[in-house]
């Protein structure tokens, strides 16, 4: 009886830890999907309708798009907004979330189309 209880507790702990790890890794992707993909597109290539209505939106899936931009510039753009149409996120996201998002943007340029 006690042995079973110990095994059960161990399992619960394991499942909880795996869940937390997945949440951490998926966090930036989920933030991006929720806050940014409507304009920037799920793959980083902007939605054509948004480009028509807003003008130029950088293509994050293009490896060179962000290469020349240091993190500080990208963090600044997300924090304070850019141009007329890139919203400021300083009141909606924490600095940690914004940093994670910028790191996530850089991974979009490394993905190859299937
Ligand atoms: C309402 C549409 C919209 C949403 C939502 C949006 N963006 Fe943007 N974003 C733009 C536009 C338009 C630009 C181009 C601004 C310019 O250069 O004038 C831009 C530019 C940027 C840039 C600057 C890139 C560069 O080369 O300087 C970054 C970084 C960025 N967006 C990240 C994000 C992130 C991260 C999110 C989500 C938290 C987000 N954007 C949400 C429209 C949007």
Q: What is the mean pLDDT of the chain?
A: 85
**pLDDT reading at 21 higher than 50:** no
Residue 39 Cβ < 6 Å to ligand 1: yes
Q: What is the pLDDT of residue 61?
A: 95
The string of pLDDT tens digits covering residues 67-93 is 999 999 999 999 999 999 999 999 999
Q: Which atom of ligand 1 is nearest to the CA of 84?
A: 18
Question: How far apart, in whole angstroms, are the C-alpha atoms of residue 31 and residue 42?
Answer: 11
**44: alpha, beta or left, given left = phi > 0 and alpha = psi -120 to 50?**
left
Report pLDDT digits (tens) over 40-59.
999 999 999 999 999 999 99
pLDDT at residue 7 greater than cutoff 90: no
For the CA of 89, the closest atom of ligand 1 is 38
pLDDT band per the 50, 70, 90 thresholds, residue 25? very low
Q: Give pLDDT, residue 38.
A: 94
């Amino acid at each position: 009886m006690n042995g079973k209880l110990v095994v059960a507790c161990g399992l619960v702990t394991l499942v909880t830890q795996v869940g937390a790890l997945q949440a951490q890794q998926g966090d930036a992707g989920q933030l991006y999907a929720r806050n940014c993909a409507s304009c920037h597109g799920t793959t980083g290539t902007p939605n054509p309708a948004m480009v028509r209505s807003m003008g130029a939106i950088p293509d994050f899936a293009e490896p060179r798009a962000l290469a020349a931009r240091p993190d500080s510039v990208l963090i600044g753009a997300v924090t304070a907004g850019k141009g007329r149409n890139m919203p400021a996120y300083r009141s909606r996201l924490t600095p940690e979330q914004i940093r994670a998002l910028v790191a996530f943007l850089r991974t979009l340029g490394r993905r190859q189309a299937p």
